[in-house]
Structure 1
Amino acid sequence: MRPLARLRLDPKGVATVLEADPSLGLEGDSLPCALLVQGQDPFGRPLCARCPVQRELRRGAYRASTPLLLKGRRLRCQGYREGEGFLVELHPERAEPPDLLLELSLLTQHLLKNPERFPEALEDFLRALRQALGMEAAELFLSDPEGHHLILTAYEGLHREAFLERPWFQLGEGYPGLVALRREPFFTHALPEDPRYLRQKVKQLGYQTYICYPLELPQGLIGVLNLASRNPNLDHQEPLETLSRIGPLFASTLYTLLTRLGEVGLQALHQHFYRGEVSEARLSFLQEIRRLTQATGVRAVAREGERWEVGLVPACAMRDCPAWKGRVMGHKNGLPECPEAQGRPRTCLPLWARGEVVAMVTLFHARPPKPATRPAAPALWFSRLAVPFLFPSANQEKADSPELEIYALGQFRLRYRGRELTPKHFGRSGAFQLFKYLLANKDRALYADELCEVLSPHLPPEKARQELYTLVYHLRKTLPGIVEREGEYYRLKLPQDRFLDFERFEELMRKADLEDGLSAFKTLRQALDLYKGPLFGDDPYGEWAEVERNYLQDRALAGLLRLGELAEALGYVEVAKEAYARALKLEPYLEDAQRRLALLRG
């Protein structure tokens, strides 16, 4: 059935009438939707001024709807995301069920642009599916990448807490596990009498009709879709026919999006590994998981005990966690209780590679999402392709972090043997400053009196020397063997196993100097990604680094101009604009960059 009216809204809510029944009186363009429609809620109060449809769409939903009264007629206002704006339709209150193929298409378009909204968008689709088929509850279990478990990822309907009693099933366990094992649809109209259904609260609430449908592709099973109703006389034939039509498309959409998540996770690692930033790769990986799952903290633990953490992560003393045996643990989420939880919501997931558990990841939430296992499947699929690189087996070459990692372009950061060091770790702030000065002159031997003049210009010569000896002692204590003394000269002795971002930046810039075309373009982008700002950017008035700072900035400027020229030649206009804009941030009066950017912007 065609809608009574269709409106297109820009991001500010200003409406353009695409079509409208004359009886609705929707006349005029360039008006806010609230002023144009002036609808009321079922109690006669103004509704459009506090439009719940726009509110939900702005929060990230791909669809939203609400009942409203317009000129005495009971209607349903239904909205969808469309580019930067929204598409709003007005339907009769008792209109035909939504077109599920259209809903699936809109869901796919939305998720391709907003993958972080994955679970919420699935719930919106389940709501449309449940209403179209006259069911009271709809739930989606997704398979983990290894096919060991089925994870409750989205639920929509009544009696949520009862359905969340068991959010995780092994293959062959419960209705979802049995359907996944047999790969055949299943239905019943006598749910309380079937001992294979394991959620007792659902039975106690009087649910009778239950339909399970496997979402299968040639690559394997991606999940199981369940529908439930308390009506024992509900015809199961129509829902099964509908699921047979949309099931393959839904399964394909899910597999495409989940696989894309894995590719994004791998890509995040690849960029850092190429530049030599091993620890940054791992931390970036965890930060992406945190963003995707909206967790307050994430911890990953390797077999050897090495740990990486981001966000707020409580301590965990457990050494033989059941997750290493492939089990899933948690707290406040219907999973087997983690003895280390101490009341804090968490989910501990095993990470598989090559048929074995090679690591585990723990997700922490200040308030558990509902269902609490909602972030688990996206996190596991995001990790799928990256895990073999992050956690290699014993017979693979391991991508160990360098012994010493230094990031001096922009904010200064230092890691030694995987541990991040701050000025407090050096005992004396002067020792930290001495290290930075030696680092800025890493290829030179520095005379003791020169160091005294830089570090302690206000002290008498003898006291300045004593202070220098003390600072060298503290520096060697924090970074053993980092300073060599040759008579009256000191030299920085960097380990062979090291990563210096400005050193790597210069290596890549020299490599790009010898290349042309696409090869030079790729290398320049890698190099300039390392240039986060001036050398020792957190110490901008340090004259001791001025020469090296200016040299590296000149290299970055020249690289950005060349990158812009190569991008233009290759047809990458947006990359060229970005390169020239970055160059102007470093040097606002750079005429060549100003001219090229103005031409590109037209």
Structure 2
Amino acid sequence: MKPLARIRLDPEGRATPLGADPSLGLEGSGLPCALLVQGQDPFGRPLCARCPVQRELKRGAYRASTPLVVKGRRLRCQGYREREGFLVELYPERAEPPDLLLELSRLTRHLLHNPDGLPQALEDFLRTLRQALDMEAAELFLADPEGRHLILTAYEGLHREAFLERPWFQLGEGYPGIVALRREPLITHTLGEDRRYLRQKVKQLGYQTYICYPLELPQGLIGVLNLASRNPQLDHKDSLETLSRIAPLFASTLYTLLTRLGEVGLEALHQHLYRGEVSEARLAFLKEIRQLTQATGIRVVARGGERWELGLVPACAMQDCPAWKGQVVGHKNGLPDCPEAQGRPRTCLPLWARGEVVAMVTLFHAHPPKPATRPAAPALWFSRLATPFLFPSLFQEKAQAPELEIYALGQFRLRYRGKALTPKSFGRSGAFQLFKYLLANKDRALYMEDICETLWPELPPDRARQELYTQIYHIRKTLPGIVEREGDYYRLRLPEDRFLDFERFEELMRKADLEEGLSAFKTLRQALDLYKGPLFGDDPYGEWAEAERSYLQDRALSGLLRLGELAEALGYVEVAKEAYARALKLEPYLEEAQKRLSLLKG
């Protein structure tokens, strides 16, 4: 049905009418939408000034609606998120049901630009679908990437707690599992008498009509869409026809989005692994999952027992958990209980690689989402491409974290055998400072007197030497074997199994010096991604590092200028702009960068 009015809103809420029935009197452009429409609620009170549609859209919904009265006419205001604002449409109060293919197209466009809004967007679409088909409940089960389970990911409708009684089914189990196995719709008008339906609370509430529809693609099943009603006389033919039209597009939207999430995560992972930042790759993986699932804590445990954690993570013995057998388990969320669960609600998911569980991830939520299994399927789809690289025990290549990891470009960070070290880890802050000084001179043997004169010039020679002995003791206690003495000289003895960001930066820069064209462009980007700031940037007054600091900054400047030139030649204008802008942050009066950036900006 054609709307009575269409209005586009910019991010500030200023309205531009795109067409309107003259009787509504919507004249003017650039006004706030509330002044243009001047709608009221059914009691005659101003509604547009507290517009519930814009409120919901700004909170992340892709669509929102509300009844309102305009010039005595009862209407429905329907709003949609657009990339740079909102689209508002006004319909008669008793308008025809929305075009679900158009709604699905809008959902797809919204999710492509806002993948983090997946949970709410799915719920919004299920609400539209349920209301259009005169149903009381709608739910979406997504299949895990291995095709072993169906996990309740979105629910909208009445009696939520009853439908959440069982949010997880194996293939062939219950209505969702049967449909997933047969790849055919399943319809009943006598749900209460059907033993195949396993959620008893739903039966007790009197639900009779139930439609379970597969979301299938050539590469397999992505999920199952369910609709339910307590009306046993409800004609299911129209609903089946509608589902047959929207199911292929809905399935492809879900598959594209979930696959793209995994590809983005894998790309970020590869960037770190290529630079040798194994621990950073793992941390990035955890951060991405936490953002996607809105979890307050994440724990990943490898088959060999290695653990990575992020956020607030309660203790767990992690023994004999059914997740190691490929099951999705949890605690206080309707899933099969994990026998080791303690404390807060959690969801434990198996991570697969080449047909076997190589790790498990546990999601902790201070306030569990509804349904509690909502983040499970997206987390599994996000992880599926990254898992073989994070747990390469089945592959020839190894990606074990180095014994010693040092990040000195920008903020200084240090890990030894996977454990982060701070100044407190060394017992004395002076030992931490001495270690940085030795690191800045890692390829040289340093005379005792030179060290004392540089770091403790105000102390008498005997006291300075004693201070040096004490600090060396604390360094060796924290990092065994890291400092060796040769007569009156000290030298840093770094392990072979190590990662130093400035050392790797220099290796990549030398590699780029020998390359041309696209190959040089890619290598330079990898190198310059490591340069996050001056050497020991959190210790800017350390004059003992000034020579090395200046050298590395000069290398970064020359690299950024060359990267900009290569990007221009390859047609990557935005990359060139970014390179020249970064160069100007390092050296604000660099004329060559100023000139090139001005030309590119026109």
Distance 1:43 1:308 in 2: 57
Asked if 1:182 corresponds to 2:214, the answer is no
Per the alignment, residue 481 of structure 1 pairs with 481
Per the alignment, residue 172 of structure 1 pairs with 172
Q: Report the alpha carbon displacement of residue 477 of structure 1 after superposing the two structures with TM.
A: 1.1
Q: Report the alpha carbon displacement of residue 319 of structure 1 after superposing the two structures with TM.
A: 2.6
Q: Report the alpha carbon displacement of residue 135 of structure 1 after superposing the two structures with TM.
A: 0.7
Per the alignment, residue 217 of structure 1 pairs with 217
Distance 2:523 2:318 in 1: 44
Asked if 1:309 corresponds to 2:301, the answer is no
Deviations 1:515-545 (A, max 9, x none): 1111111111111100000100110110010
Distance 1:316 1:397 in 2: 31
Q: Report the alpha carbon displacement of residue 395 of structure 1 after superposing the two structures with TM.
A: 5.6
SS at match of 1:28: coil
Q: Which runs of 4+ in 1 moved over 6 A?
A: none
Q: Report the alpha carbon displacement of residue 55 of structure 1 after superposing the two structures with TM.
A: 1.2
Per the alignment, residue 457 of structure 1 pairs with 457
**Residues 351, 357 of structure 2: 8 Å contact kept:** yes
Letter in 2 for 1:466: Q
SS at match of 1:257: helix
Asked if 1:569 corresponds to 2:569, the answer is yes
Alignment of 1:39-438 (within 5 A): 39-394=39-394, 396-438=396-438
Distance 1:394 1:561 in 2: 42
Distance 1:42 1:54 in 2: 19
Moved more, 480-489 or 585-594: 585-594
Structure 1 segments unaligned to the other structure (5+ residues): none
Deviations 1:437-482 (A, max 9, x none): 0000001100011111223223221222122111111111111110
Letter in 2 for 1:100: L
Per the alignment, residue 507 of structure 2 pairs with 507
Per the alignment, residue 540 of structure 1 pairs with 540
**Residues 14, 31 of structure 2: 8 Å contact kept:** yes
Moved more, 245-254 or 309-318: 309-318
- Number of residue pairs matched by the alignment: 602
**Residues 111, 118 of structure 1: 8 Å contact kept:** yes
Letter in 2 for 1:226: N
SS at match of 1:249: helix
Per the alignment, residue 592 of structure 1 pairs with 592
TM-score normalised according to structure 2 size: 0.98
Distance 2:23 2:484 in 1: 89
**Residues 315, 342 of structure 2: 8 Å contact kept:** no
Distance 1:410 1:396 in 2: 34
Distance 1:270 1:207 in 2: 49
Q: Report the alpha carbon displacement of residue 313 of structure 1 after superposing the two structures with TM.
A: 1.6
Deviations 1:551-585 (A, max 9, x none): 11111111111111111111111111111111111
Distance 2:43 2:477 in 1: 74
Deviations 1:10-47 (A, max 9, x none): 11010001110111111111100011011112222211
Per the alignment, residue 517 of structure 1 pairs with 517
Q: Percent identity?
A: 87
Distance 2:435 2:243 in 1: 66
Distance 2:388 2:600 in 1: 42
Per the alignment, residue 492 of structure 1 pairs with 492
**Residues 332, 368 of structure 1: 8 Å contact kept:** no
Distance 1:593 1:322 in 2: 58
**Residues 528, 556 of structure 1: 8 Å contact kept:** yes
**Residues 321, 340 of structure 2: 8 Å contact kept:** no
**Residues 430, 455 of structure 1: 8 Å contact kept:** no
SS at match of 1:79: strand
SS at match of 2:271: helix
TM-score normalised according to structure 1 size: 0.98
SS at match of 1:463: helix
Distance 1:514 1:393 in 2: 34
**Residues 484, 490 of structure 1: 8 Å contact kept:** yes
Distance 2:275 2:392 in 1: 19
**Residues 83, 113 of structure 2: 8 Å contact kept:** no
Distance 1:44 1:474 in 2: 76
Letter in 2 for 1:454: T
SS at match of 1:298: strand
Q: Report the alpha carbon displacement of residue 99 of structure 1 after superposing the two structures with TM.
A: 0.6
Q: Report the alpha carbon displacement of residue 340 of structure 1 after superposing the two structures with TM.
A: 4.3
**Residues 37, 70 of structure 1: 8 Å contact kept:** yes
**Residues 191, 197 of structure 1: 8 Å contact kept:** yes
Deviations 1:190-246 (A, max 9, x none): 111112111111111111100000111111111000000111100011111111111
**Residues 316, 342 of structure 2: 8 Å contact kept:** no
Distance 1:506 1:294 in 2: 38
SS at match of 1:197: coil
Per the alignment, residue 557 of structure 2 pairs with 557
**Residues 39, 70 of structure 1: 8 Å contact kept:** yes
SS at match of 1:536: coil
Moved more, 38-47 or 165-174: 38-47
Distance 1:499 1:232 in 2: 67
SS at match of 1:238: helix
Q: Report the alpha carbon displacement of residue 423 of structure 1 after superposing the two structures with TM.
A: 1.0
Query: Cα distance 1:121–1:274, how it changes in 2: closer, same or farther (>3 A)?
Result: same
Q: Report the alpha carbon displacement of residue 426 of structure 1 after superposing the two structures with TM.
A: 0.8
**Residues 153, 374 of structure 1: 8 Å contact kept:** yes
Letter in 1 for 2:524: L
